[in-house]
């Protein structure tokens, strides 16, 4: 029986993606490339981790996978398109083949501003499944992986020399006190050394998932469900690392039932004295809080409950929905007022987040 053989057979396909991310060479801050443009094309490529497996499906989609969470981070700063090319079960050899025979993937890679890649776990899992306990076969597979990951990054850079490129390491899904952890550690270290060397050659940033997950396996991995994919917390941790490298901070925008709308002000959560309201697909905020947020910029305004327009600093502003009266207090469409005062405003619908940027990052 192989290292992973004690997991239920129906979970073996899930394993195919699981192990991806962790040594700190180069560090997340080591790669300096151009800043992202105002509109970002993000391409997520790789295995089932990229596809978001391990996070529960919401409306048939893995909306809390790391790629979706990272996409939401981008949306708080401007328009962003996500092309998720995650293929569950994909090995490095299969993806290398696809790079030459999947023109749609090559087309989006060519125009991407941001690329993430997760590959490697399935190379280990399939080898262990087919040849359990065969050290020679495993070392041969890892030697091939070393060449494959180098060739993959070379091809990506040939198609797109300028994109920000992040490569997830392979992680060990088992805790250090589990015998399977020690059995896998040599192989995972080999895979991650191969990632580090290829990333250094091709100006990619390594996401240190292996060290991030170490000693946090129960917290970040679905082992309780007989699954070695990251859970929502694990996917969030991955997205957090990449976001910190890109922007210096991270806002947790995980989709959950009964979410209430939240405000990000210049990229950071803003506490409010009264809650945001969403009515008629419009985000409203109490007028006194709108004025406080724009203190120093807002000179004068005029509005009346029920009107679909108002005056802001002498300018007539058309409103998407009328001024409301809630518990005796006027509520204004936050987006319309903020735009009129020169801010940029973005609404991330699935996480019920409105992001207002009054200054350039």
Report pLDDT digits (tens) over 263-289: 999 999 999 999 999 998 999 999 999
Which residue among 221, 247, 273 closes a domain? 247
290-326 residue pLDDT tens = 999 999 999 999 999 999 999 999 999 999 999 999 9
pLDDT at 8: 41
pLDDT value for 62: 86
Domain boundary among 247, 280, 295: 247
CATH label of the domain that carries residue 175:
3.40.50.1110
Q: Is the pLDDT of residue 129 over 50?
A: yes
Same domain for 166 and 46, yes or no, is yes
Same domain, yes or no: 61 and 207: yes
CA distance 75 to 40: 9
Band (pLDDT 50/70/90 cuts) for residue 70 is very high
198 lies in the same domain as 101: yes
* pLDDT band at residue 361 under the 50/70/90 scheme: low
Structural domain boundaries enclosing 25: 9-247
Q: Which residue has the higher pLDDT, 180 or 305?
A: 305
How would residue 126 be classed by pLDDT, with cut points 50, 70 and 90? Answer: confident
Number of domains in the chain: 2
Q: Is the pLDDT of residue 257 over 90?
A: no
Mean per-residue pLDDT, 88-100: 94
CATH code assigned at 306? 3.30.457
Cis geometry, peptide bond prior to residue 192 (ω within 30 degrees of 0) = no
Residues 222, 334: one domain?
no
pLDDT value at position 3?
55
Residues 115, 151: one domain? yes
**Do 112 and 183 share a structural domain?**
yes
pTM of the model: 0.86
- Dist CA 132 CA 139 (whole Å): 13
pLDDT of residue 112: 98
Phi, psi of 288 (to 5 degrees): -65, -30
Distances (CA, A) of 187 to 171, 183, 252: 10, 8, 33
- Asked whether residue 42 is domain-assigned, the answer is yes
Point out the least confidently predicted range of 106-110, 146-150, 254-258: 254-258
SS3 state of residue 95? helix
293 and 193, same structural domain? Answer: no
Take residue 329 and report the two structure tokens written for it.
């207090």
Instruction: Please tell me the predicted confidence (pLDDT) of residue 225.
Output: 85
Is 255 domain-assigned?
no
pLDDT averaged over every residue in the chain: 89
Residue range 203-231: average pLDDT?
Answer: 93
For residues 116 and 154, state if they share a domain. yes
With a cut of 90, say whether residue 46 has pLDDT above it: yes
In this prediction, residue 277 carries a pLDDT of 96
pLDDT higher at 78 or 129? 78
pLDDT for 55 beyond 80:
yes
pLDDT for the residue 93: 96
17-40 residue pLDDT tens: 334 433 333 445 445 566 899 999
Same domain? For 235 and 277 the reply is: no
Whether 189 and 290 map to the same domain: the answer is no
Virtual torsion, Cα 53, 56, 59, 60, nearest 10 deg: 30
Q: Among 97-101, 184-188, 194-198, 214-218, which range has the highest average pLDDT?
A: 194-198
Collapsing DSSP to helix, strand or coil, 44 comes out as strand
Section 226-237 average pLDDT? 94
Res 88: pLDDT = 94
Among 133, 154, 254, CA closest to 203: 154
84 belongs to a structural domain: yes
Which neighbouring-strand residues pair with 282?
A: 279
Q: Is residue 252 part of a domain?
A: no
Q: Which residue stretches of 63-214 are H helix?
A: 66-75, 92-101, 103-110, 121-130, 135-159, 179-201, 209-213
Domain-ending residue, one of 223, 247, 271 = 247
């Amino acid at each position: 029986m192989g290292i992973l053989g004690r997991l239920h057979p129906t979970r073996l396909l899930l394993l195919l993606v699981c192990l991806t991310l962790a040594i700190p060479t180069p560090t997340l801050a080591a790669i300096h490339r151009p800043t992202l443009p105002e509109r970002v094309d993000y391409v997520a490529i790789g295995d089932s981790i990229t596809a978001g497996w391990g996070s529960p499906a919401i409306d048939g989609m893995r909306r809390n996978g790391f790629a979706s969470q990272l996409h939401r981070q981008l949306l708080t700063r401007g328009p962003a398109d996500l092309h998720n090319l995650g293929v569950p079960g994909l090995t490095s050899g299969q993806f290398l083949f696809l790079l030459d025979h999947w023109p749609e993937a090559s087309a989006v890679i060519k125009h991407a501003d941001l690329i993430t890649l997760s590959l490697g776990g399935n190379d280990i899992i399939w080898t262990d499944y087919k040849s359990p306990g065969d050290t020679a076969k495993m070392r041969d597979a890892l030697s091939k992986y070393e060449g494959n990951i180098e060739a993959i990054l070379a091809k990506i850079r040939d198609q797109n020399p300028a994109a920000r490129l992040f490569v997830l390491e392979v992680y060990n899904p088992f805790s250090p006190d589990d015998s399977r952890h020690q059995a896998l550690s040599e192989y995972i270290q080999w895979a991650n050394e191969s990632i580090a060397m290829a990333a250094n050659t091709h100006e990619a940033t390594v996401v240190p998932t292996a060290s991030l997950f170490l000693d946090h396996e129960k917290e970040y991995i679905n082992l309780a469900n007989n699954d070695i994919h990251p859970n929502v917390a694990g996917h969030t941790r991955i997205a957090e690392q990449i976001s910190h490298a890109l922007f210096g901070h991270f806002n947790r925008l995980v989709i959950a039932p009964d979410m209430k709308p939240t405000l990000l002000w210049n990229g950071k959560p803003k506490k409010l004295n009264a809650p945001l309201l969403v009515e008629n697909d419009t985000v409203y905020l109490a007028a006194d809080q709108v004025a406080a947020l724009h203190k120093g910029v807002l000179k004068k305004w005029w509005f009346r409950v029920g009107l679909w327009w108002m005056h802001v600093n002498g300018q007539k502003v058309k409103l998407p929905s009328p001024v409301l009266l809630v518990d005796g207090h006027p509520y204004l469409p936050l987006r319309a007022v903020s735009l009129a005062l020169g801010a940029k405003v973005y609404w991330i619908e699935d996480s019920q987040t409105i992001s207002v940027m009054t200054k350039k990052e």
